[in-house]
Amino acid sequence: MSWFAWLLLVAGVAIGGVWLSVLLSMWSEKKWIPPELRHGRLVYSEKPFSIQRPVRLSVRVDRAYQVGDHIQLVELKVRDGHRLFMSDVIEMSAQRLVVEKTTGMKVSDFGIFLLQRPAGGRRTVKKVWLLDQRTVLGLALRREEILRGSVLPTHASSIGTCRSCLYQRECNGTFKI
């Protein structure tokens, strides 16, 4: 076999390997997709949005898919445990509010979280009902009042939240850690 034939053979095997890798990656990516997104189209990825009224809110949407006449928010969370926190739900609820106000499109009442461990492995999909607009605005207004000093913050309601708080030393809260 000539050197040119060998070169063509090696190039063919390399190109075939790349295509196989791409196809396997696409297949693997499609496995986690919940039924709600099967016919969706990615419209936003790592996109910032902000509003000024009724409160100033800035968010960054991880991924958003257009599914029919509405947008579906999706967030990847890489962490040790396959669990969500209330802060995740609040964050995505704020995203929903800001995206609806800036685009004029309806955003789904539930969010989809894709959970994965740092070392990789199996992804878990969790669907969570998002907070309504009134609740999100109430939380944002309360935050502004706390930062202004017009109201005092309350203590954490769980020891886990207290344990990870940056203000432990200054706090004389319920939990003594």
End-to-end CA distance of the chain: 75
For residue 9, the model assigns a pLDDT of: 58
Kindly give the parts of the chain with pLDDT less than 70: 1, 3-32, 172-177
For residue 103, the model assigns a pLDDT of: 97
Return the domain boundaries, the chain. Answer: 1-31, 34-131
For residue 175, the model assigns a pLDDT of: 59
Q: Which fold has domain 34-131?
A: Lambda Exonuclease; Chain A (3.90.320)
Q: Tell me which residue of 125, 135, 62, 58 sits closest to 98, measured CA to CA.
A: 58
CA dihedral defined by 140, 145, 148, 151, rounded to 10 degrees? -150
For residue 29, the model assigns a pLDDT of: 53
Give the bridge partners for 112, in sequence order.
Answer: 74, 127
Tokens of 177: 């850690």
| Contact (CB, 8 A) for 32 and 114 | yes
Burial group, residue 52, by CB count within 10 angstroms (0-12, 13-18, 19+)? exposed
Query: CB under 8 Å to 111, separation ≥6 — which residues?
Result: 73, 74, 75, 89, 92, 93, 96, 127, 128, 130
Angle between the N-to-C axes of helices 86-103 and 133-148, in degrees from 0 to 180, rounded to the nearest 10: 110
